[in-house]
Amino acid sequence: GIQVEQSPPDLILQEGANSTLRCNFSDSVNNLQWFHQNPWGQLINLFYIPSGTKQNGRLSATTVATERYSLLYISSSQTTDSGVYFCAEIKAAGNKLTFGGGTRVLVKP
């Protein structure tokens, strides 16, 4: 089956720092999403990015489907960026989101 692996599992940042989160997947995908889960459990959509590069404010993401990985960049991190970041993918012939284990980010003031 498809496996989704995220690294690092935990990340502590000083406010203002930049960081890169990685998501590796084991099969060809039709859908790759990045989410931010806030302390109350809400999953907030960040990017829908099966391939290519997208940017939204201080966040950007790149998926290289042929090499089966996606990267999420956080620039000039803020304390409100704290939380857990998940990537999730759906294989080309499926409809089930398979989630990675998440990267827990703590941004210190």
Partner 1 sequence: ETGVTQTPRHLVMGMTNKKSLKCEQHLGHNAMYWYKQSAKKPLELMFVYNFKEQTENNSVPSRFSPECPNSSHLFLHLHTLQPEDSALYLCASSQGLAGGYEQYFGPGTRLTVT
Closest C-alpha among 2, 47, 43 to residue 21: 47
Contacts of 57 (CB under 8 A, 6+ apart): none
DSSP assigned state of 81 = G
Binds partner 1 (CB under 8 A): choice among 8, 16, 20, 48: 48
Q: Count of CB atoms within 10 A of residue 95's CB?
A: 8
- Pick between residue 50 and residue 69 the one whose CB is nearest to partner 1: 50
- Pick between residue 77 and residue 89 the one whose CB is nearest to partner 1: 89
What x-and-dash track marks residues 53-82 binding partner 1 by CB under 8 A? ------------------------------
105 in Cβ contact with 11 (< 8 Å): yes
What x-and-dash track marks residues 13-32 binding partner 1 by CB under 8 A? ----------------xxx-
Binds partner 1 (CB under 8 A): choice among 20, 42, 55, 78: 42
